A and B are shown apart, each in its own frame.
Chain A
Amino acid sequence: MRIRSLFLFRRYSIPVFIIILLLSALIVMSLRVKQRKGIDFADAVLMEFCAPFQKVSNFVIKAIHGVFQEYLFLVHLQRENVVLKQRMAELQKENHQMKEMALANERLYKLLQFREKISPSVTAAEVIGQDPSSWFKSVTINKGEKDGVRTGMAVISPEGVVGQILKTAPHYSTVLLITDYNSAIDSIIQRTRAKAIVEGKGENRCQLKYLLRTEEVIVGDGVVTSGLSGNFPKGLMVGEVRKVDKKGHGVFQYAELVPSVDLTKLEEVLVITGSSLPPQEEKEKKGKKAPVRPSRRRGGS
């Protein structure tokens, strides 16, 4: 009996191991979906071990790329220089006009006694790696929990919205890009202020969903964050409408969006790590805390 059971054990040990291994993989999947701390710890440890390889590789590739760009491919540099100078002049003029509009806007806000915009505190980070799979869209950055980065924080660039923090390790983090199908951002059409949700489409495109059919949207409309979700401040550029689809009937219409940020060429990003009140508002707060003394009337009743 003993020999027979040993024979059976030896014969079926591999299939049993395979079943146990696949069940373990399913358990890991389940833990990941539920975001259990054990998996987060394992993720953090492995990311701390593997991300430095990406950092070094990225540095070497950029150095080689830089040599080619700056020393070998100097063709058309003169022509490019002239074009860029012209463009700079145009942008300077536009910038001046924008400054005027901003000043006028500030005056109007003060007149109507609106609260000043909260200026968020940001942390700059370098992109050290892209998503290794093609189904999903994410990047790895070189800032983590030690730098104040937390899951859910918004990630932006000067051109607009990039995504949000998906996973963190002590010194590195994974950012879910807005083009990933898992991403959804509360947005508004800049021109008409119509509300919609921007969802990723898997490639370098996004889709505007839940936009009412009665709302007007045309190709070329800019889409900005609404600020309703709490992660993204209001007014950040998300993208531009490229195609509108009314799909025959229904309450909603759909539109295709091109992100304002070129997500295939990301090098540096900004993580919004928190919001801080501007100094004037802090002074007003301190002023409110001071006790009010009653004033004496001269003469009279």
Chain B
Amino acid sequence: MRRIVFPLFLGVIFLTFQSTLLAFLPIQSIRPDIVLILTLYLGLFYPPISGGILAVFMGFLMDLFSGNSFGLYTLSRPLIFYAAQFFKGRLYLESFISQFLFVFIFGLGEGFLIFILLDVLNPGPISNLSPLLFTLLLPQVFVTGLVTPIFFFLLHKGFLSFFGHPEMELVERGDRS
């Protein structure tokens, strides 16, 4: 039970900080997406079933407090979670550069996915959003990547102290990693 409740509670806290504390930043385009960092961390260290449910829930929360009428994060967050699961145990992610690049690439991928979904689902053209790929998405994923090592470190310490084991003793049926 606690392996679901603790990350869930963390997700709510991270979302709260993202929508309140980080909203005070003078330049909104450099506001890091810390819920994305948490989702990717879970993708690297959590089993697929419980982690997938958590990713869907966090995407649902993002949609809830967003002006997003389609509910895109409910789909995009579990997708990037499972994409991160593919790299579980296959990538060396101990260094700053590797962690930065990992989150940067996944953040860019999610941004493009959301843009494509918006274009497909919207009845009219959304040429207004094309410049945002450069003025908003790129700076935001860059800053998100920069703060990733700090959050990865804190999350690692937090989960270690809470579960007492780096892998959090989480193994589910069918989990071959």
Q: Are A25 and B24 in contact (CB under 8 A)?
A: no
Assuming the contacts A57-B17, A135-B132, asked whether A177 and B64 have C-beta atoms less than 8 A apart, the reply is no
Cβ of B108 under 8 Å from chain A: no
Q: A174-B66, A176-B67 known; 13 other A-B pairs, CB under 8 Å?
A: A14-B48, A17-B48, A26-B75, A33-B121, A50-B15, A50-B65, A134-B137, A134-B140, A135-B68, A135-B111, A180-B67, A182-B69, A202-B129
Q: Are A166 and B114 in contact (CB under 8 A)?
A: no
Number of interface residues of A (CB under 8 A): 53
Q: How far is the CA of A166 from the CA of B21 in the complex (A)?
A: 23
User: For A11, what are the chain B residues with a Cβ–Cβ distance below 8 Å?
Assistant: 174
Q: How far is the CA of A264 from the CA of B24 in the complex (A)?
A: 8
Q: Which of A159-186 contact B (CB under 8 A)?
A: 166-167, 174, 176-177, 180-182
Assuming the contacts A14-B175, A21-B53, A54-B20, asked whether A28 and B126 have C-beta atoms less than 8 A apart, the reply is no
Q: Which of A1-35 contact B (CB under 8 A)?
A: 10-11, 13-14, 17-18, 21-22, 24-26, 28-29, 32-33
Q: Which of B66-88 contact A (CB under 8 A)?
A: 66-75, 78-79, 82
Cβ of B136 under 8 Å from chain A: yes
Q: In chain B, what residue has the closest Cβ to A183?
A: B67
Q: How far is the CA of A18 from the CA of B10 in the complex (A)?
A: 23
User: For B15, what are the chain A residues with a Cβ–Cβ distance below 8 Å?
Assistant: 50, 132
Cβ of A273 under 8 Å from chain B: no
User: For A53, what are the chain B residues with a Cβ–Cβ distance below 8 Å?
Assistant: 12-13, 16
Q: How far is the CA of A112 from the CA of B16 in the complex (A)?
A: 54
Q: Are A29 and B71 in contact (CB under 8 A)?
A: yes
User: For B64, what are the chain A residues with a Cβ–Cβ distance below 8 Å?
Assistant: 43, 46-47, 50, 167, 174
Number of interface residues of B (CB under 8 A): 57
Give residues in B with beta carbon < 8 Å to A. Answer: 12-13, 15-21, 23-24, 28-29, 31, 33, 35, 48-49, 52-53, 56, 59-75, 78-79, 82, 111, 114, 118, 121, 126, 128-129, 132, 135-137, 140, 172-175
- Say what secondary structure dominates the interface of chain B: helix
Q: Are B20 and A57 in contact (CB under 8 A)?
A: yes
Could you tell me the distance in whole angstroms from the C-beta of B175 to the nearest C-beta in chain A?
A: 7
Q: Which of A101-109, A117-125, A136-144, A219-227 contacts B (4 or more CB under 8 A)?
A: A136-144
Q: Are A32 and B63 in contact (CB under 8 A)?
A: yes
User: For A46, what are the chain B residues with a Cβ–Cβ distance below 8 Å?
Assistant: 60-61, 64
Q: Are B78 and A21 in contact (CB under 8 A)?
A: yes
From A14, A33, A54, A177, give the contact of B67 (CB < 8 A). A177
